[in-house]
Chains A and B, each alone.
Chain A
């Protein structure tokens, strides 16, 4: 990068490099404030939370106590929420990625009746406001008795249209038609070709969609808020927001603040970890979607 200017006048290069890094550092501080805040706050007792400076630790390290409170409050319902979130996200993530991979492969490698129309529908799906979908889904699922069951969250989350788009783009690039044709000439059927040849080469794309769909479900709020009504089925987002509402409504819930902080920290750590571990995949995947769109 910038080979020419680097050698031409390296003093000015080093100077601009310093200032640009400062500009990045400023935004980094901004990005980091809320995360630092939740880390600091989860180490404080409820009294310190209000009585000491918010962006620094207090002398009293209350972290383990907060965690213990978090997992024991209301008979330990938080661990239930955490398990629910994990269940919903893993099942939806794996299912959505698998189905998106099938569909993206079909859109990329086959000609069939209705291809253009159905692909346009899938792309157009992003325009639909959440309420326009979630409310009728609620009404329809309540007719078949699925409201307030894990299925009410999992089934709609299996539909992940951006994943289909991403997998189509990925298959266009990563999978040559000749490879599939080689399989056909070798006498393999289409399902055999998919699982023995294509899927292996689509795995990075699959991983990308998997993490994006997983995070989308992990972070989802509106869908479970509407479709679930018993606390036992809540994911962390809905559960914590209820505690938070209780805390902020002033009706004696103020003791909940430090628990909510600890809960927030616990709920974001796995997602951040997933993103860090799988950075190769989401960076490539988001990029492909954006560049090709």
Chain B
């Protein structure tokens, strides 16, 4: 278990700044997920922690020890890679033993530890096989097992599930959660998939363009996104965004009548956001805005309606599965004002909510 602390960490490749000053503290036993779009610098940040890249600025502390200038070996972390990075010429046992051999552990102890971890991960029957003789999910477990045997101070995961098919991905997600509960180890996990982030994390770190956009628990991010970027990145389907303006104590949505702004006084309101779950379809003529149903997707559990609203992007609505909504129908859209997110011109969230 370890506390990992980043202070003003920066990284440039040549003249390109990829990480622009990151401050973060990961507590003992915490499961932190870095999430963000492709190219946002998640992997780079993780690799900086692991010692696979050298920092261009700032310091990295592990349990209070400055490791900024130490190589990966001295940081005693373990990492699970996207491609699994299993040594193809070694058996599963050889893969899991390698780190311990390098560290000079006695043979008996290596054998014992590998056997134990193999049992934990249900790999005991495969120990003498080569990686290519295993399925994707099994390889993934070997990669995790290789990390566990070394009893590292913390685990790093870089998109470990993205090479698995959808079903297996869910299973492995659950296994990783269980593993975290059992080991109680500090884990940092990188993914571009916000569902993975929401389900796994104690705390999510949202990255964009090398800057932390927001840090918080999954629900905090969902309910109180710090800005438009986080609001749209977290949650599936995406939050709907409609143009808005502050007029005479009211917030007018998409040029319409608008709603009471309550205690809010800001004048630079530019957009409001509302999640598909928080919208209800009502008969034409009722509701805050109206539009025409463009597409209906029936997923079984839910029905998604995409409603064309003049002057705005199509609005996504999550309707009950037996909703009678039909293509071409003119509908009104209703939502509770306190569910609205309000964003300023620069995209930051205006925390005060109408009617609150």
A residues neighboring B (CB under 8 Å): 176, 178-179, 181-189, 192, 196-197, 200-201
Question: When A197-B87, A201-B88, A201-B89 are in contact, do A187 and B102 touch as well, CB less than 8 Å?
Answer: yes
Interface residues of B in 92-116 (CB under 8 A from A): 98-99, 102-103
B residues neighboring A (CB under 8 Å): 47, 50-52, 71-73, 76-79, 81-83, 85-89, 98-99, 102-103, 146, 150, 156
Is A184 touching B71 in the complex (CB atoms < 8 A)? yes
Residues from chain B with Cβ under 8 Å of A176 in the complex:
83, 85
Residues from chain B with Cβ under 8 Å of A186 in the complex:
73, 98-99, 102, 146, 150
Question: When A186-B99, A192-B102, A197-B87 are in contact, do A181 and B150 touch as well, CB less than 8 Å?
Answer: no
**9 closest A-B pairs (Cβ-Cβ)?**
A186-B99, A182-B85, A178-B85, A187-B73, A200-B89, A178-B81, A184-B72, A185-B79, A188-B102
B77 nearest in chain A by CB position: A185
Minimum CB–CB distance from B250 to chain A (whole Å) comes to 55
Residues from chain B with Cβ under 8 Å of A185 in the complex:
50, 52, 72-73, 77-79, 99, 156
Is A187 touching B103 in the complex (CB atoms < 8 A)? yes
Minimum CB–CB distance from B185 to chain A (whole Å) comes to 15
Summed over the interface, the residue pairs from A and B with CB atoms below 8 Å come to a total of 61
Q: Given A181-B72, A185-B79, A186-B146, list of 11 further CB < 8 A pairs? A: A176-B83, A178-B81, A178-B82, A182-B85, A182-B87, A185-B77, A186-B98, A186-B99, A187-B73, A187-B99, A187-B103
Give complex CA distance A75, B51 in Å. Answer: 66
A180 nearest in chain B by CB position: B85
28 A-B contacts, Cβ less than 8 Å apart? Answer: A176-B83, A178-B81, A178-B82, A178-B83, A178-B85, A181-B52, A181-B79, A181-B81, A182-B79, A182-B85, A182-B86, A182-B87, A183-B87, A183-B98, A184-B51, A184-B52, A184-B71, A185-B50, A185-B52, A185-B73, A185-B79, A186-B73, A186-B99, A186-B150, A187-B72, A187-B102, A197-B87, A197-B89
Give complex CA distance A235, B85 in Å. Answer: 46
Residues from chain A with Cβ under 8 Å of B85 in the complex:
176, 178-179, 181-182
